[in-house]
Each structure stands twice: as C-alpha cells, then as structure tokens.
Homo-oligomer: A and B are copies of this chain.
Amino acid sequence: MKTLNIGLVGSGFMGKSHSMAYNLLPQVFDPLPAYPRLRILGDITEDLAKKGAKNFGFEDYAVGFEEVVNHPDVDIIDITAPNHAHKEIAVAAAKAGKHIYCEKPLAVTLEDAKAMLDAAEAAGVKTLVGFNYLKTPATLYAKQLIDEGKLGDIWHFRGYFHQDILADPNLPFSWRFEKKIAGSGALGDLGAHIIAIAQNLVSDIDKVSALTKTFIKERPQASGGTGYSSTADLNAPKKTVENDDAVHMLTRFKNGATGTIESSRITQGRKVYLAYEINGSNGSIRFEHERMNELKVYFSDDPEGTKGFRTIITGAEHPFYGSFWPVAGCGLGFGDMKTIEIYQLLDAVANGKDLKPDFRDGYKVSQVIEAALKSAEEERWVEVASV
C-alpha cells in the first residue's frame, strides 16, 4: 500500500479534528487507499508546534509553515491555520507541487480565494476544501437520490446554519468580529457551509438578494479567547463589532430553483443547526445536523395513504457508514465526517480520482459570499458571476 505524507499547518481545534481522522483511518477503512503518515506539523510558536505534534502523532514539527510546505517527504499540505493565512500557505504549497487540503472558508477575501485557485490550477495539484458537512452519509445519500432523479426537478432549496454561540452580548470581542481577520461574520463562518451544500446538491447560484445585520453592535474587550467561552470584564471598554451577526438571502439557482439561505450566530437555542430542505417535483428531502444520522425523505409517488416523510437512519446501505459500524443507528459523530473527508482526499491523490469540493467549488462559495455582501450593502440583487 502506498504511503502519503501529511504536512499539517495549524494545531488548533480543526488541526485536532483532522489529526483524529488521520489516526482513525487505518482502523476504519480496510483496505485503505493509502496509508497516511503524519510527517510534520507547523504552528506559529515552537511550544504550539511541539505540543501539537506530540498530541496528534506527528513525527516532526516546525515553527511557521515554510518548512512544512517545502518538506521533501510531504505529499499533502493540510491547512488549518487561521483563515486570513490560508492564501499565503496554499500558494506556497501549490508552488511546491503539493496537493492541498484547506479548511473552509477558502480565504477571507475573494481576491485571495482567486489567487489560491489560480495557483493550484496552474500547479495541477489536487485540492479539497474542508466543507465537512457535505460528508455525512445522509448528505452524500441525499446527493445520490437527487442525481438519480428520485426527487424530479429541484424547485426549492432552504438552507440554514444557526447557532447561539455568540448570542450573549457579554462575550468579549475577538478576532471573529474583525473584518480584516475574519472577513464576514455569520455569513462567511457559518453560511459558507450551507452555500457549499446548496451548490453541491442543487446547482450553482445565479443571483442573490441579501440582508445582513449586526445586532450586538459592540462587545467588551478582552485579552484573549476565541470569543466563545471566556467572559470579558463587563466594565472593560467596548469595541465595535465589524461584521454580520446574521444574514438572510434570497437565491436564484442556475437550474431554475429558488430558495433562501440564512445563517445567524445569535439564534438562541440553536447549536449546530445546519439544516436544509430541498423540494422537487417528485419529492422532498430534509436534513438537520443536530440529528446527523437521519435523513428525512418524501416521495410523492408512494401509494395513497402511506405518503409521509420517512425518517431514514443511516446505515451500511448509505455511503461510508458501513466502514465504521455494521449496524444502522450506532451513530457517527462530528469527527467521522472528517474521517470520510480525508478518506476521499487520500483516495483521490493515490488513485487519481476526482475530489469535491475542490478550490473551484470553494471559490464559487466565496463568490456567493461576496455577492451577498455587495447585495446587502447596496440593497439590490447581485449576480454571482459579476463579482
């Protein structure tokens, strides 16, 4: 079996989840498309890099990304660094001829995303963007049903990604609220995922009319934290939030479907409410990530009297599930999506297969985000291709 050497940049939350997946792969898949060798991990300080390499099982570590990207053994560069650093790393990786696996969003600005796409396509390397929510057995199966025409023509898409993680106005200001570092707010962080799903399951998006709003206009300053959990000193001076707490978007799809896409980081009660409903001429599909092992499907040609949304519990008859467990209902978790994602990455690199969503798909997501921001600012419909 071939071995593929991994160079990981970033040892935070996403670096951890990628590493979990690499370490699980050999137990889950038999046969493996290739054996992932955790060759080297880079982070911005020696402490972080060293600790990450030890905890995650990497052989070496490096300070910064350059040594990782240019390491002669390394086949695949895995980028989990902060979003605004994606471009520099990815372009360097492409130049070094490495395949690239980059966390979403592709970049903070559309220009950066374009530069990454161009560099990767020029280098002819494989690329993958970490829109992991596409990788549940449920959503992979939804795509299969749609592609087989089981829902007929697709008429409507409704997609959401709501969380209440930042609904508390006392949560301190952090990089998440800075335009320069984070780009947009709920739109880029959460909405990007559901835009990627919309594109993947329905078709490219043609034009959008969007509305964004920042409800919590300023937050107390704090010295650190991700903005999720630390509580700021409430008497601290306040800093202005620079990006959107919520976005609502009308969408026209290239295939003629119409719909809405929304996301909010201040929706009380919603945790990872990434959900979508797709209505076609012959049926409907609904998925909610908080119940990620279920897919609801309605077929309009079921016999009279027995029509109803089926709650399908994913199992061995759905994509990838059977590699984990033999029995439906055991249940996959968040980490398992990453394991599937990385299986596809290794399989594509080792066996020359197609890989989705690639940088082109990721760039299109960035285009939709850009179009939505423009639409919201100018209060008008914006064609995605125009940005």
Contact = CB atoms under 8 A, between A and B. Distances in A.
Interface in A275-324: 279-284, 289-300, 302, 304-313, 315-318, 324
Contacts of A213: 258
Given A16-B27, A163-B327, A266-B279, 17 more contacts: A13-B326, A23-B27, A155-B246, A169-B281, A209-B381, A248-B258, A248-B259, A250-B250, A269-B284, A269-B300, A272-B331, A289-B331, A290-B329, A290-B331, A309-B311, A324-B333, A331-B333
Contacts of A266: 155, 279, 281
A156 to B, nearest CB: 6
Contacts of A299: 306
Contact of A271 (B28, B246, B260, B313): B313
A215 B256 CA distance: 9
Contacts of A272: 327-331
A27 B13 contact: no
A59 interface: no
Given A20-B28, A28-B20, A250-B209, A262 B264 contact: no
A154 B24 CA distance: 41
Nearest to A141: B305
Nearest to A32: B55
Interface string A25-69: 011101000000000000000000000000111000000000000
A347 interface: no
A330 B331 contact: no
B57 A300 contact: no
Interface of A: 13, 16-17, 19-20, 23-24, 26-28, 30, 55-57, 141, 151, 155-156, 158, 162-165, 167-169, 209-211, 213, 215, 226, 228-229, 246, 248-250, 252, 256, 258-260, 262, 264, 266-273, 279-284, 289-300, 302, 304-313, 315-318, 324-336, 379-381
A292 B294 CA distance: 12
Contacts of A328: 271-272
B262 A260 contact: yes
B333 A215 contact: no
A144 to B, nearest CB: 8
Nearest to A164: B300
A167 B155 CA distance: 11
Contacts of A332: 331, 333-334
A298 B269 contact: yes
B283 A304 contact: no
A268 B280 contact: yes
A158 to B, nearest CB: 7
A312 B317 contact: no
Contacts of A311: 308-311
Given A300-B164, A307-B310, A246 B20 contact: no
Contacts of A295: 308
A218 to B, nearest CB: 15
Contact of A291 (B215, B291, B318, B326): B291
Contacts of A302: 310
Give the interface centre of A164, A258, A331 by most chain B CB atoms within 10 Å. A331
A272 B321 CA distance: 14
